[in-house]
A and B are shown apart, each in its own frame.
Chain A
Amino acid sequence: MANQKILVIGGGPGGLEAAKGIAELGYQAILVEKRGRLGGTPDEASYAALTPDLRDADEALREMIEPVENNPGVEVMLNTIVVGAEGSIGDFRVKAIQLGKEIEIEAGAVIVSTGFKHFDPGRETQKYGYYEHDDVITLVDCEKMLKAHNFVRPSNGEKPKRVCFIQCVGSRDRQIGNEYCSKVCCGIASKEAIEIRQQVPDCKVYIFYIDMRMYGYWENEIYWPAQEKYKVNYIKGIATEIMKKGDKLLVRGEDTTLRRPMEVEMDMVILSVGMEPSGGTQEMAKFFGLNQNKYGFIETTGGSAEHGCDQCARGIRRRCMYWPGRPRRYRLGSRRSSDEIYRRLTQTECSACIK
């Protein structure tokens, strides 16, 4: 008889939703999280409000964590890092380290939900001087400040008067190796722009973009209100260099519709960093022998998962496909229940997409 337990690796929104779904269907889930608490990236990176409706991130996470934490169908293992795996479908023996102690977890199937990491703008190139200028920050840094309701210039602690976002940092870049679009940054930048205008109303906000990629309802739920209600200035053409000018930053680029160079002073520059596969995703791929595409995302049948998440439901569906040897997918008791789990899991969201 095959092992009926399902191991979920990663305690972010994707893993939480997966564990909850498994329990609801009457199966036993083991949820493994390397940090000392559940919530994943939105929690770790202090997301302030979620896109598109600016819902409080903590509140949304609480709603996802609560049904898992006190659920007899879910065994939560915090401070646990998966370090290796043996066995195959129906009989996995996963090695992990829990608070310095080596343990072994047995499961019939594994769901990898290790997500993404934010692009480090200093990783490949210092084009924008992220580690050079205090007032050059990322979407993630900005999120932290907005959460603390303390949006100020890191250099002097003063409220900024002029702020710009630079889109596509670390995405759509052959030289960096990230040729893909990270999909959510246009929306996140517009959402943060709205929050800046709410928290510092006399601060002008500019977004320098190549093209705004607001898929689906984000168009009318984020982009349009940002422009129409919050008067965020969208300028087509992203900046190429940032230089210090007195205590300001001189942002230089090309205004592509005017076909003229721009050299505008800013108090702060926010780099709209994209997504890369997380360290966990890279490692799990190795442990479970999962193929990765050239960017490090896990290959699935039917194409690569996009930034470990894709668009919510589809991302989870693809994550289901990470079940080792998916074409010969392990069937939990019967085909029907397997399909049920499959269907249930397709309704969940991943952390990148709820952001």
Chain B
Amino acid sequence: MPVDKSQIKEFEKAVVDGIELTADWNRMFDQRVVFDYDPNGAMDKVTDIPGGESMGWCYQCGQCIPVCPVDIAGGDYGPLKIFRKLQQGIELLPDPDLWKCTTCMNCLRVCPKAVNMIEIMPATREAAVLDAKVPKELQDVFESTFEYGNPLGESPRKRADWVTETGSTVSTMKDLARPVDMLWFVGSYPSYHARGKDASRALAKVLNLLGADFGILGTEEKDDCDSFRLAGETGLFEEFAEYNIKTFKKYKVKKILLTDPHALNAFRKEYPKLGGDFEVIHYSTFLAPLMDKLDFKKKLNYKVTFHDPCYLGRHNGEFDAPRNVLKAIPGIDLIEMGRCRENSYCCGGGGGGMWLDGFMSDHVNERLSEKRVREAVETGADVLAVCCPYEVSRFEDAVKSTGNEGKLIVRDIVELMEEALG
């Protein structure tokens, strides 16, 4: 009788009741007959959690699967598949499925029943966090962020060191000792990561050229933690949010300029719930209408393709500003990837994915960032332009791992501006 290959599992080593089995015994078959549907209430355990309700709403149309970046990368994933496993009684909390979702929101965009992974995932993950069932690499980042105020585990005292390192002219609110038009919330990666600092230097330069009245918090800034919230660490998120809100209020901040779309998302949608109502603006949105005020000296002869950050585009509806910035840079030829704007492909960094690369590599055929880099290369572009601090490092790694070094470079949109400003 022919056997469905998908039901065969080969184990390098199989141990049953303490006895190591060898040779053909390592070949296991999935149980074929369904004897019961969810006998222990696996579905209820998710839908009973506030925020998890909509997990039970799926009517299995399957529209979510073709747009799930994890499934596209070979992860055998998506809301429908989670629903189906729960219906069979496979618990979500201890399942690796709980951590695969990047909260990119492309499934919710197409879901007719509004099954909302953006609420289900943080709610269910929070239960796992409270249960101490978190992948170790993510748990380590939770802890170092709690300790140092940033997920890179760098010293909080060095948070503003990038300013002097890069020779930028930026003042802290403490030094300014006066209210400013705009607080620039720099963020952790732009403060500490080598490539993030490049973008910070460029943005500082552009802001000064525009004569903007701004300041930064420097060592008084703590991570926005929105991705930790989506990874289930609500406590960490709220603690830092309360701290940041207090600090903003101390300096009488009204308007906040953000480098990181994840921070934008948190400040816009979550901070008001915690008493922090500020005007927030992503730097691409801020810069787009001011491009004609800048004197670009150099023409960049680049073919550029742009990657929409999930938390700027789908989550916060800004698709045009970064494109308008790019189009205003002399010489840039903007070409779009097949998956762009509303249907942009996730880099894999959201919802905790930034710190789960090791875990994810066991569950996908290729990293999401690698998939995206291949899509960028397919367009024939020289430059993959980004405007989210997670992406520069992710995509540069992926350019190397996919063997595309020399074919494609990764640049923040403001780095391209800096280059054209000469």
Contacts and interface: CB of A to CB of B under 8 A. Distances in A.
A260 B35 CA distance: 10
Contacts of A228: 53, 56-57
A161 to B, nearest CB: 11
Interface in B204-220: none
A261 interface: yes
Contacts of B34: 255, 258, 260-264
Contacts of A212: 59
Contacts of A264: 34-37
Interface size class of B (residues with CB under 8 A): 20 to 34
A206 B37 contact: yes
B238 interface: no
Contacts of B37: 206, 233, 235, 262, 264
A192 B4 CA distance: 38
Nearest to B32: A260
B59 A227 contact: yes
A231 B38 contact: no
Interface string A78-106: 00000000000000000000000000000
A261 B44 CA distance: 24
Contacts of B44: 231
A261 B56 contact: no
Contacts of B113: 224
Interface in B17-70: 32-38, 43-44, 47, 53, 56-57, 59-60
B339 interface: no
Contacts of B35: 262-264
Chain A contact residues: helix, strand, loop or mixed: strand
Interface in A213-271: 223-224, 227-228, 231, 233-236, 255, 257-265
Contacts of A261: 32-34
B84 A258 contact: yes
Contacts of A258: 34, 84, 88
B171 interface: no
B42 to A, nearest CB: 12
A233 B86 CA distance: 11
A230 to B, nearest CB: 10
Given A233-B37, A260-B33, A227 B56 contact: yes
A176 to B, nearest CB: 27
B172 interface: no
Contacts of B36: 264-265
B87 interface: yes
Contacts of B60: 236, 257
A263 B100 CA distance: 31
Contacts of B4: 259
A262 B59 CA distance: 19
A227 B83 CA distance: 13
A256 to B, nearest CB: 11
B58 to A, nearest CB: 9
Contacts of B33: 260-263
Contacts of B84: 257-258
Interface of B: 4, 32-38, 43-44, 47, 53, 56-57, 59-60, 84, 87-88, 113
Given A224-B113, A231-B47, A235-B37, 7 more contacts: A212-B59, A231-B43, A233-B87, A257-B84, A258-B88, A261-B32, A263-B33
12 contacts: A224-B57, A228-B53, A228-B57, A231-B47, A233-B37, A235-B37, A236-B60, A255-B34, A257-B60, A258-B84, A263-B34, A264-B34
6 closest residue pairs by CB, A with B? A262-B34, A261-B33, A228-B57, A263-B33, A255-B34, A260-B34
